[in-house]
Amino acid sequence: MSIELRHFRCFLAIAETLSITRAAERLHLTQPAVSRTLRQLEQELGIRLVDRSTHHLALTPDGRAFRDRARIAVSAFDRALATAHLTEWPLRLGHAWSAAGTDTTALLRRWREEHPETPLELLRIDDRTAGLARGDVDAALLRGEVRAPGLITEQLATEPRVAGLPADDPLAGRTALALSELTDRTIALNTVSGITTLDLWPAGARPASSITIGNTDDWIAAITGGRAVGVTTSATAEMHPHPAMAYVPLTDAPPVPVVIAWRDGPGHPRIPDLIALARDVIGKATGSERARAR
């Protein structure tokens, strides 16, 4: 037996629903057919993908690792079919928030001038790697340390951190703040795509209260609504001005690296051109540093 795309789709349905029954409903198959397809895939790979020893299905460590590779393979196949009738092959650039800051427009316009034959699509995806790890985009502009396996990153610049406050907050009129001045506040933390955690504060001096947010829009809403304050980078202030929000520089918070990331392996043929342009537009004043994410 050889592995076919249907094996990948079946496994992904199981991985996403953690249920043979729900996977069968999604795929419009019978439960025995789904179980049989999963068993064939495991036998062909020689590894166990799903733990069936409890009342609830769970992916094994091998299953979690294979899930990411299967997503990339299925995404590439679907995209190949979707673009088969097109003479142009769009290059998808993901970002989790704020793209390239104030350099975003220059990056997009320069690309269109220099590579008119290849559309550059900028996509915001609320995910730590902006969809890159699962194959939704070809490259991504990310902030902070990126540890997803199979990705290569190159640092383009750094951005200073700022505090996000309601515009009528007593601290909003300050020219600068220290992290310690936020410890008695509730902190809004974007745990899906953000980089700020309570570890930013010294041990023993961390805020006692926080709320969990899923994206930049909700982060801004929580702050402007008076529920919390937050920490972000200067790019957010540049890309998301709001009449009810104040952004105040933080004097003792480390800057945040801005990186461009791509998958280690075959990809869109224009990725090297995108990296070169990003270096020129975003990183011309800071240089670059290349590192493999482990």
Domain that holds residue 138: 91-158+256-292
Specify the CATH number for the domain of residue 131. Answer: 3.40.190.10
- Name the domain boundary from 26, 47, 82: 82
In this structure, the answer to whether residues 281 and 154 fall within a common structural domain is yes
Same domain, residue pair 58 and 74 = yes
Point out the domain boundary residue: 34, 51, 82.
Answer: 82
Number of domains in the chain: 3
One-character DSSP codes across 88-153: --PEEEEESSSTTGGGHHHHHHHHHHH-TTS-EEEEE-SSTTTTTTTTS-SEEEEES----TTEEE
- Judgement on whether residues 151 and 262 belong to the same structural domain of the protein: yes
Mean pLDDT for back-to-back runs of 10 residues, the chain (294 residues): 85 91 90 92 92 82 87 75 65 95 96 95 94 90 90 96 98 97 97 94 94 95 97 96 97 97 88 96 59 43
Residues 188, 230 contacting (CB under 8 angstroms): yes
Q: State whether 147 and 262 are in the same domain.
A: yes
How confident is the model at residue 293, as a pLDDT? 44
Q: Tell me the CA distances in angstroms from 36 to 31, 146, 292, one per residue in order.
A: 9, 37, 38
Do both 142 and 36 map to the same domain?
A: no
* CA–CA separation, 76 and 135 (whole Å): 7
pLDDT per residue as tens digits for the range 112-171: 999 999 999 999 999 999 999 888 899 999 999 998 888 999 999 999 999 999 999 999
CATH of the domain at 24: 1.10.10.10
